[in-house]
Structure 1
Amino acid sequence: MTQWGKIVGFRFTSQQALGLATGWKKPCYADKPVRESAMTLGKGKFKVEGTLCLPNDIGERAEVSRFPCVVFLAGSGPCDRDSTIGENKPFRDLALGLASQNIASIRFDKVTHTHRKTFRDRKDITLTDEYVEHAMDAVLQAQKHPNILPHGVFVLGHSLGAVVAPMITAMNNLTAGCIIMAGPAEPIYRCFVRQLRYIMSLDGPEALYLNKQIDAAQAQAELADSDKLTLSTPAKKLPFGIGPSYWLDYRNFKPIETCASLKKPVLIMQGNRDYQVTIQDDYLQWKAALSEKQNVQLRLYERLNHLFISGSVPSTPIEYTIPGNVDEQVINDLTKWVAGNSPVTLERR
């Protein structure tokens, strides 16, 4: 879904809405109490709300217990702070799982979630507007918090958030590193065309009307990529009906090149069952560009989908309507990597 609520994939009525499912449940690995508190990010009329999740293990003097922290950047669309997709809340899973391992986190509602109508009506919206102010504020607030290591703040981007995360990491000298989860190597409108073709290949009922949609999406993608794109290009001719300012600004975000220039640790994580960001079209480009760099680690998960939830059959859109949790191995790998790249895993003076 785009930041204005337009469809980027297919939506299905959730099992919970039909009374057939129990909805999200706390993952089994989140077995320790945590401390969550509300926070506000940004300034002026475009403030958003977020959640700071801290480990509960702070000892007798909270002001001298400091933890590494991960700032989460959600994917495309008007995502809430939990990155809720169907019956799943992957960012809540990650926050609770990391807190159980003495790692703090910040997650927040995207501005396009909190101020959806205002941003939908704007003609000059950019990718920078969608992410940068609130992401930078989250990093700065984390670095100033008495229970967070100021040199131990990492930026994690999922999907479209992974396009932005490297730039946020580079913009703040004190950030400790960057985590890429299901990072697109191509613009998201190219991912969308591939996504439509994949769904069509499943021979489900959607395939009956996808041909025209694929042709239209392909034409829009080609225009967005071309030198014919200008500020006067009509939004209706561009991907998802989003105006030219957005796609012109998008060109300034070069996640693979930015990661290649970083001297900080970088972790790249990818699910093999992901049909939105794929091994062949995306992950292999990251791997080819970065695998020889000493500060980069790559993790490929055979059974995981775009939300890093495990399964045994090819992923489809309807899978997101089934409650699940981020796989525990992802939590373990993140914990080990963050702890290994933090100045101090847990500081107590």
Structure 2
Amino acid sequence: LDRDEGLAAGIGMAAPARSFHEIFVDQYEHLATVGEFEWERMVNVYEQWRDRIDRIRQGDYSPGDTVLGYPGALWDSLDEYDHVATARDVDQPILFLQGERDYQVSVEEDFQLWQDELADRPATEFQRYEGLNHLFQPGTCPSVPGEYAVRNSLDGAVVEDIAGFLGEP
């Protein structure tokens, strides 16, 4: 929206409000608790990731280094972009949607941060969906990566809310 003022509105579907490396930690911690992986191996990988994330936090890398599978230049770029400030500064209406079963973007951390930081911003709406994952698909168990491979549909309530926000009947 900040790059194209011709756009009428924005929609943040499972939109992260925090830094990418912080979200990585949360995702990995979730996966460690749902038992989808061998625990000992998971702990070793988690400790390695924590060390690398500390490098990212401290800026202890060069643009050409690869950290957590991504080049340092990407981490620099992500660090320079402030999602919340950008949303606060645009004039168009914004709708934020969040599935409550999403482990990739947290309801408690990210969605709540959007609500707290943009509470006074006009034309901003927030909608949570019980039982939906990161792809806004229904389920009952804790969300895991394997469920994304199962054929499933976008929940109808999400489609209706988007259409209503955009002014479509």
1-structure distance, mates of 2:39, 2:5:
48
| Kept in 2: contact 1:199–1:206 (CA 8 A) | no
- Unaligned runs of at least 5 residues, structure 2: none
Other-structure match for 1:198: 30
Q: How does 1:116-195 map to 2 (within 5 A)?
A: 169-195=1-27
Q: How does 1:1-349 map to 2 (within 5 A)?
A: 169-231=1-63, 234-235=65-66, 238-240=67-69, 242-339=70-167
Identity %: 24
Deviation of the 1:329 alpha carbon: 0.4
Q: 1:322 to 1:231 in 2, by over 3 A?
A: closer
| Kept in 2: contact 1:199–1:207 (CA 8 A) | no
Which protein has the bigger helix share?
2
| Deviation string, structure 1 residues 296-327 (Cα, Å, up to 9, x no partner) | 10010011100000112221222122210000
Structure 1 counterpart of 2:134, which letter?
Answer: H
Q: 1:319 to 1:231 in 2, by over 3 A?
A: closer
1-structure distance, mates of 2:149, 2:38:
17
| Kept in 2: contact 1:270–1:279 (CA 8 A) | yes
Deviation of the 1:206 alpha carbon: 3.1
| Larger RCO: 1 or 2 (CA < 8 Å, sep 6+) | 2
- Unaligned runs of at least 5 residues, structure 1: 1-168
TM-score (norm 1): 0.46
Calculate the aligned-residue CA RMSD, in Å.
1.8
Structure 1 counterpart of 2:8, which letter?
Answer: A
2-structure distance, mates of 1:205, 1:216:
16
Which protein has the bigger strand share?
1
2-structure distance, mates of 1:309, 1:196:
21
2-structure distance, mates of 1:171, 1:208:
46
2-structure distance, mates of 1:296, 1:265:
6
SS in 2 for 1:183: coil
Structure 2 counterpart of 1:239, which letter?
Answer: L
| Deviation string, structure 1 residues 249-275 (Cα, Å, up to 9, x no partner) | 112221111001111101100000001
2-structure distance, mates of 1:202, 1:172:
41
1-structure distance, mates of 2:26, 2:95:
25
Structure 2 counterpart of 1:339, which letter?
Answer: G
| Kept in 2: contact 1:189–1:217 (CA 8 A) | no
Structure 1 counterpart of 2:82, which letter?
Answer: K
Structure 2 counterpart of 1:328, which letter?
Answer: G
| Kept in 2: contact 1:181–1:268 (CA 8 A) | yes
Deviation of the 1:339 alpha carbon: 1.7
Deviation of the 1:186 alpha carbon: 1.9
Deviation of the 1:281 alpha carbon: 2.0
Structure 1 counterpart of 2:167, which letter?
Answer: A
- How many residues align? The count is 169
SS in 1 for 2:38: helix
2-structure distance, mates of 1:217, 1:274:
21
